[in-house]
């Protein structure tokens, strides 16, 4: 029988709701994830990243004192470490276009709206684990390539020159 | 056909100019990295695993139903002091509504989730934490309690209640801006 990638993964869940942390942890365990770390807000998550380096982060958007946006921004701003490129799935009840755009422009990899369902969580995880987008490092943005569709555009195609890590 | 892309709003003025240094880094997939030679592309959704996840949610439903009852009871305790301006009561009331917004729908209480979402949006958008005379918050808490007590309410009634709450929020805002 083939190995499941989930069994080999370490995932950090950041949410101020104890129930949501419990739900996400239980769902990840049902998928086979053996190592799930929990943090109650962005501050605790950043502190945790000093001692462990997860393969993926699932974070809530609205938390106190450090919310998911600030946490993601801080993480993406770390220079010179692979840690800053960890895929981030943001879970949020704010599904208006401005929140989604804000998440995208901060470098969030995938956005998952609340209430969450098993299928959408599973699909987002597959997307992140198996179909990574190339990572962009620019003076004003660090995060996964925000262009998901390959359509012609005006200007220089800088995507031709990629570094492989 | 060419796509003209506007720069990110967060990026500001700098994005309008050509960035001096832009680097694209190809990141290997986690699946490939973790599984090595066992990796079979592409990864697909396994219906058996999805079923396991859905069973997990169903198993947690009973546990959540008990917690939800306590949370709704707590909302009713908090609503009066919160509407009178008690900061701690307001913080706790919002935290409970925020929890319901995120979780109630997942555990089979979508109507409570919708009312909680409406309440959270009202609180988030209230300028200077002005809750007026508290009518909007009180009506939301009542709607949440009713939804819990009558889970089989006709969806049309639910929609009408949500619309009525929206109208009430609109009227309260207009009244407030008129002075």
Chain segment A42-70, per-residue pLDDT in tens: 999 999 999 999 999 999 998 888 899 99
The b/e string for A62-83 (b: 16+ C-beta within 10 A; e otherwise) is: bbeebbbbbbbbbbbeeeeeee
Tell which wins on pLDDT, B20 or B56.
B56
By CA distance, what is B56's nearest residue in A?
A: A27
Q: Which domain CATH number covers A98?
A: 3.40.50.2300
Query: What residues in B contact A131, CB-CB < 8 Å?
Result: 29, 42
Contact (CB<8Å) A32/B49: yes
Query: What residues in A contact B25, CB-CB < 8 Å?
Result: 85, 134-137, 162-165
Give a yes or no: residue A165 inside a domain: no
Average pLDDT over residues A143-163: 71
Q: What's residue A149's pLDDT?
A: 66
- What average pLDDT does chain A have? 89
Give B 17-36 residues with CB within 8 A of chain A: 18-31, 34-35
Q: Which of A15-19, A59-63, A102-106, A160-164 has the lowest mean pLDDT?
A: A160-164
Percent of chain A with pLDDT over 70: 89
Q: What's residue B2's pLDDT?
A: 40
Instruction: Report the number of distinct structural domains present in chain A.
Output: 1
- What average pLDDT does chain B have? 85
Q: Judge whether A130 and B42 are in contact, CB under 8 Å.
A: yes
Give a yes or no: residue A106 inside a domain: yes
Q: What's residue A163's pLDDT?
A: 60
Give a yes or no: residue A164 inside a domain: no
B65 close contact with A: CB closer than 8 A: no
Give a yes or no: residue A155 inside a domain: no
Give a yes or no: residue A161 inside a domain: no
Q: What is the CA radius of gyration of chain A?
A: 16
Give a yes or no: residue A157 inside a domain: no
Residue B96's SS3 state is: helix
Phi, psi of A151 (to 5 degrees): -115, 150
- B154: confidence class by pLDDT, cuts 50, 70, 90: confident
Q: What's residue A164's pLDDT?
A: 52
Q: What's residue B137's pLDDT?
A: 94
Q: What's residue B158's pLDDT?
A: 87
Average pLDDT over residues B7-14: 44
Query: What residues in B contact A55, CB-CB < 8 Å?
Result: 30, 34
Average pLDDT over residues B163-167: 91
Q: What's residue B155's pLDDT?
A: 85
- For residue B134, what are the CA distances in angstroms to B81, B106, B112? 10, 29, 19
Helical (H) or strand (E) element with A81: none
Contact (CB<8Å) B98/A93: yes
- B27: confidence class by pLDDT, cuts 50, 70, 90: confident
A47 close contact with B: CB closer than 8 A: no
* Cα A95 to Cα B159: distance, rounded to the nearest angstrom: 19
Residue-number span of the structural domain to which A123 is assigned: 5-150
Q: Judge whether A18 and B99 are in contact, CB under 8 Å.
A: no
pTM of the model: 0.83
A123 close contact with B: CB closer than 8 A: yes
Q: What's residue A165's pLDDT?
A: 52
* Cα B106 to Cα A27: distance, rounded to the nearest angstrom: 12
Give A 57-116 residues with CB within 8 A of chain B: 60, 62, 85, 87, 91, 93, 101-102, 105-106, 114-116
By CA distance, what is B54's nearest residue in A?
A: A118
Tokens describing residue B132: 């007026």
Q: Is the pLDDT of residue A147 over 80?
A: no
By CA distance, what is A125's nearest residue in B?
A: B45
Average pLDDT over residues B18-42: 82
Q: Is the pLDDT of residue A71 over 80?
A: yes
Q: Report the CATH architecture of B47-177.
A: Up-down Bundle (1.20)
Q: What's residue B8's pLDDT?
A: 46
Q: Is the pLDDT of residue B101 over 90?
A: yes
Q: Where are the domains of chain B?
A: 47-177
> Which DSSP letter does residue A60 get?
E
ipTM score of the complex?
0.83
Contact (CB<8Å) A129/B19: no
Q: Which of B32-41, B83-92, B125-134 has the lowest mean pLDDT?
A: B125-134
Q: What's residue B37's pLDDT?
A: 83
């Amino acid at each position: 029988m083939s190995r499941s990638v989930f069994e080999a993964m370490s995932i950090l869940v950041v949410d101020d709701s104890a129930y949501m942390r419990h739900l996400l942890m239980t769902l990840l365990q049902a998928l086979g994830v053996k190592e799930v770390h929990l943090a109650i807000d962005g501050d605790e998550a950043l502190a945790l990243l000093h001692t462990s380096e997860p393969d993926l982060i699932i974070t809530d958007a609205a938390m106190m004192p450090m919310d998911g946006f600030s946490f993601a921004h801080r993480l993406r701003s770390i220079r010179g470490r692979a840690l800053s490129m960890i895929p981030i799935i943001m879970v949020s009840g704010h599904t208006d276009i401005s929140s989604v755009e804000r998440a995208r422009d901060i470098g969030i990899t995938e956005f998952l709206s609340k209430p969450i369902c098993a299928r959408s969580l599973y699909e987002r995880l597959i997307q992140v684990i198996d179909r990574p987008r190339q990572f962009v490092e620019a003076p004003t943005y660090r995060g996964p390539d925000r262009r998901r569709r390959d359509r012609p555009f005006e200007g220089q195609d800088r995507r031709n020159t990629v570094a492989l890590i | 056909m060419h796509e003209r892309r506007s720069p990110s709003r967060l990026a500001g003025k700098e994005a309008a100019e050509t960035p001096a240094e832009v680097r694209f880094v190809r990141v290997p997939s986690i699946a490939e990295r973790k599984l090595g030679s066992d990796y079979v592309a592409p990864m697909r959704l396994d219906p058996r695993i999805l079923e396991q996840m859905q069973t997990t949610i169903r198993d947690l439903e009973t546990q959540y139903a008990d917690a939800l009852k306590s949370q709704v009871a707590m909302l009713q305790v908090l609503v009066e002091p919160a509407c009178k301006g008690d900061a701690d009561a307001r913080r706790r009331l919002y935290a409970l509504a925020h929890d319901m917004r995120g979780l109630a729908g997942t555990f089979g209480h979508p109507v409570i989730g919708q009312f909680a979402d409406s309440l959270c949006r009202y609180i988030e958008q209230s300028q200077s934490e002005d809750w007026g005379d508290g009518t909007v918050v009180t009506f939301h808490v009542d709607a949440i309690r009713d939804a819990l007590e009558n889970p089989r309410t006709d969806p049309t009634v639910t929609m009408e209640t949500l619309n009525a709450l929206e109208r009430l929020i609109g009227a309260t805002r207009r009244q407030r801006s008129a002075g």
